[in-house]
Amino acid sequence: MENGALRVGFGYDVHAFAEGRRLILGGIEIPYELGLAGHSDADVVIHSICDALLGAAALGDIGRHFPDTDPAYRGISSLILLRRVKDLLKEHGFVVSNVDVTIVAQKPRLAPYVDLMVRRICDELGWRRGLLNIKATTTEGLGFAGRGEGIASYAIALIMKIQEKNP
């Protein structure tokens, strides 16, 4: 692969609502009576970003690198996983050009938290604000999200090869 080559990756994640858990999206806690079920903190936003970045670099997916069968990842902050993905990309000579995320949830209303999510993720990774876009939508009551059963997130990432993998 030549330096300067652009690569695109797509990520998707979904988790069901669960009682007794905090709702963590985009690295921040959202006040809501339900959280999301999962082995880690179940942050669908960050999981979809991880999968988009890993896919763009042809490095598999989040489950390959951080399996839910490994107790080391039980309850882990997904921000830690995203930092590790960023490090993997760097090791393989990639830089992130941009990431776009769509969160699908009927409830809670997420628009008031989108800027906080962007700020949290960008600060965590040392990204400039314009590199990441997050938006939220509903399904107008249709499907699992519309019935209030859970939350989904879609992400697309554009990365660029800047150097060959370190020997």
**Tens-digit pLDDT profile for residues 26-70:** 999 999 999 999 999 999 999 999 999 999 999 999 999 998 888
What pLDDT, on a 0 to 100 scale, did the predictor assign at position 3? 73
Q: What is the DSSP letter of 119?
A: H
Any binding-site annotation on 146? Answer: no
Per-residue pLDDT band for 72 (boundaries 50, 70, 90) equals confident
Any binding-site annotation on 153? Answer: no
Any binding-site annotation on 69? Answer: yes
**Tens-digit pLDDT profile for residues 106-146:** 999 999 999 999 999 999 999 998 999 999 999 998 899 99
CB 34 within 8 A of CB 18: yes
Q: Compute the residue count for the chain.
A: 167
CB 36 within 8 A of CB 21: yes
- The residues spanned by each domain of the chain are 6-161
What pLDDT, on a 0 to 100 scale, did the predictor assign at position 73? 87
Task: Count CA within 13 A, CB hemisphere, residue 120.
Answer: 20
Give rounded-to-5 percent helix, strand, coil for the chain.
35, 30, 35
For the CA atoms of 109, 112, 114, 120, the dihedral, rounded to the nearest 10 degrees, stands at: -120
Mean per-residue pLDDT for 155-164? 90
Helix (H, G, I), strand (E, B) or coil at 44: helix
Q: What is the DSSP letter of 2?
A: -
Any binding-site annotation on 102? Answer: no
What pLDDT, on a 0 to 100 scale, did the predictor assign at position 166? 53
- The rounded radius of gyration (Å) of the Cα atoms in the chain is 16
CATH 3.30.1330.50 fits 6-161, yes or no: yes
**Tens-digit pLDDT profile for residues 74-95:** 889 999 999 999 999 999 999 9
Any binding-site annotation on 97? Answer: no
Any binding-site annotation on 139? Answer: yes
Residue 115's H or E segment, with its range, is helix 114-125
What pLDDT, on a 0 to 100 scale, did the predictor assign at position 90? 95
Any binding-site annotation on 115? Answer: no
